[in-house]
Amino acid sequence: MPDTRESALRGDCAQCFGLCCVALPFARSADFAVDKSAGDPCRNLQDDFRCGIHTRLRPSGFQGCTVYDCFGAGQHVSQVTFGGVSWREAPGTARQMYEVFPVVRQLHELLRYLTEALERPAARPVHGELRTALARVRELTALPAADLEKLDVAPVRAEVNPLLLRTSELVRATAGGRPRGRRGADLIGKRLRGAKLRGTDLRGALLIAADLTGADLTLADLIGADLRDADLSGAVLTDALFLTQPQLNSARGDAATVLPEGFERPSHWAS
Same domain flag for 213 and 82: no
Looking at residue 88, its pLDDT comes to 95
The CATH number of whichever domain residue 185 belongs to comes to: 2.160.20.80
Same domain (yes/no): 186, 168: no
Does any domain span residue 118?
yes
Banded model confidence at residue 216, pLDDT cuts 50, 70, 90: very high
Residue 190: inside a domain, yes or no?
yes
Q: How far apart are CA 233 and CA 247, in angstroms?
A: 14
Q: Please give the backbone phi and psi of residue 118, each rounded to the nearest 5 degrees, phi first.
A: -70, -20
Do residues 191 and 253 both lie within one domain?
yes
Both 91 and 110 in one domain: the answer is yes
Q: Does residue 1 have a pLDDT over 50?
A: no
d(CA 81, CA 146): 10
Looking at the structure, tell me whether residues 142 and 241 fall in a common domain.
no
* Burial of 254 per CB tally in 10 Å (0-12, 13-18, 19+): middle
237-271 tens-digit pLDDT: 999 999 999 999 999 999 999 999 989 999 899 87
User: CA-to-CA distance for 208 and 193, rounded, in angstroms?
Assistant: 14
Find the helix packing angle between 127-141 and 154-172, rounded to 10°: 150
Both 221 and 149 in one domain: the answer is no
Tell me, yes or no, whether 2 lies in a domain: no
Question: Do 168 and 183 fall within a single domain?
Answer: no
In this structure, the answer to whether residues 88 and 143 fall within a common structural domain is yes
Same domain, 121 and 182: no
CA triplet 194, 195, 199: central angle to 5 degrees?
A: 130
Boundary (domain end) residue, out of 111, 141, 172: 172
- For residues 81 and 145, is the Cβ–Cβ distance under 8 A? yes
Q: Return the pLDDT at 30.
A: 86
Containing structural domain, residue 223: 178-271
Any domain includes 1: no
Mark whether 158 and 237 lie in a shared domain: no
Report d(CA 68, CA 87) in Å as an integer: 21
Q: Is the CB of residue 266 less than 8 Å from the CB of residue 237?
A: no
Q: Looking at residue 24, what DSSP letter applies?
A: S
pLDDT band at 10 (very low <50, low <70, confident <90, very high): confident
The residue among 130, 150, 172 that closes a domain is: 172
Give me the chain's average pLDDT, please.
94
Same structural domain, 251 and 129: no
Is 37 contained in some domain?
A: yes
Least-confidence region, from 86-95, 160-169, 172-181:
172-181
User: How many domains, the chain?
Assistant: 2
**pLDDT tens-digit profile of 49-79?**
999 998 899 899 998 898 899 999 999 999 9
- Answer for the pair 26, 35: CB distance below 8 angstroms, yes or no: yes
Residues 192 and 225 in one domain: yes
pLDDT band at 178 (very low <50, low <70, confident <90, very high): confident
Q: Is the pLDDT of residue 5 over 60?
A: no
Task: Name the β-bridge partners of 231.
Answer: 211, 252
Map residue 258 onto helix, strand or coil. Answer: strand
Alpha-carbon span 220 to 46, nearest angstrom:
40
Domain boundary residue, one of 153, 172, 191 = 172
User: In this predicted structure, what is the pLDDT of residue 6?
Assistant: 57
Model confidence band, residue 177 (pLDDT cutoffs 50, 70, 90): confident
